[in-house]
Amino acid sequence: MLTGGVFSLSIVALVLLSKPTTVLVATLLSGLCAFELFRMLRSDAKLPNEFLGTAVAALYPVAYAIWHFNGLLSLTVGFACALLIWYVFFTPARITDVSVTLFGACYTGMMLSSLVMIREILDGFWGGVLVVGILLSVWANDTFAYLIGSRLGKHPMAPHISPKKSWEGFFAGILVSVAVWCLLPLIPGLELPLVWAVVGGLACGWIGILGDLVESRIKRSLGFKDSGNLLPGHGGFLDRCDSLIVVAAVASLLFRVIGL
């Protein structure tokens, strides 16, 4: 409980403080999540290039903050070329190792760089409030899905991947996600029609739960209960960010579709 509170409040404070501190948050989360993912893959006889993959994952938010989409494209192309060079000269490496390294960095760093994209939609403090709103929608979704699912859940959602997930919890999480998104139009300067807020809540509500199931499947297939132990009582950083990774990307895409 204490660890989760400190983790959440630290992120909120840094996001509200400024754009550079938001970039710092995204960079740290990207690098730590990538590190945990590559560590798990190592246990499954994979040989990802952990150093390069973790470094690039951490650089994605920085690249976007400085050069925007040109930065993301340039970093990805350079990363792919570096991996091919590594594959040619590091003979133990297999093409699957190249693939999981590329996937790991893009799954964590590229998608979490969306937090910086969202921060830039509004100037100054209110941009931070928008990011916090997205964070709250994710955390509220997780919390209510767990509470309702653990008390009222009778219909398993994905018993072979995450036995504790239920359809009752799924719909509860989506409803609270929509409720949080419907508050976003109250942010000064954000021209978000209510109908699009509902669409955003629905889209990010289910995609957040999908992100949780994706990470659960990764852990189950690799034989891990938690992605790490850096957050006592909460597992690892990837455990805490599994939903946020995909929600940030989908929210950023939605904002661009409606022209924000």
Q: Is it the case that residue 233 has pLDDT exceeding 70?
A: no
Chain centroid offset of residue 217 CA: 16
Tokens representing residue 101 in the block: 């390294």
pLDDT value at residue 153: 61
Domain locations along the chain: 2-257
Average pLDDT over residues 216-239: 84
pLDDT value at residue 2: 67
Tokens representing residue 144 in the block: 């209510």
Q: Is it the case that residue 1 has pLDDT exceeding 70?
A: no
Q: Distance of CA 13 to CAs 75, 246, 257, Å?
A: 29, 22, 29
Report which residue type is found at 252.
S
Helix (H, G, I), strand (E, B) or coil at 158: strand
Q: Map tokens 């669409």 to a residue.
A: 199
**Among candidate residues 239, 243, 244, the one with its CA nearest the CA of residue 33:** 239
pLDDT value at residue 132: 97
What crossing angle do the helices spanning 167-181 and 124-152 adopt, rounded to 10°?
160
pLDDT tens digit sequence for 150-178: 777 677 777 677 767 778 888 889 999 99
Which helix (DSSP H) or strand (DSSP E) does residue 171 occupy? helix 167-181
The full 3-state SS of 204-215, as one line of letters, equals HHHHHHHHHHHH
pLDDT tens digit sequence for 195-212: 999 999 999 999 999 999
**Among candidate residues 222, 234, 217, the one with its CA nearest the CA of residue 32:** 234
For the entire predicted model, the pTM comes to 0.93
The answer to whether the CB of 146 falls within 8 A of the CB of 102 is no
Compute the mean pLDDT over every residue in the chain, rounded to the nearest whole number. 91
Report which residue type is found at 108.
T
Largest CA-CA distance found in the chain, in angstroms, rounded: 57
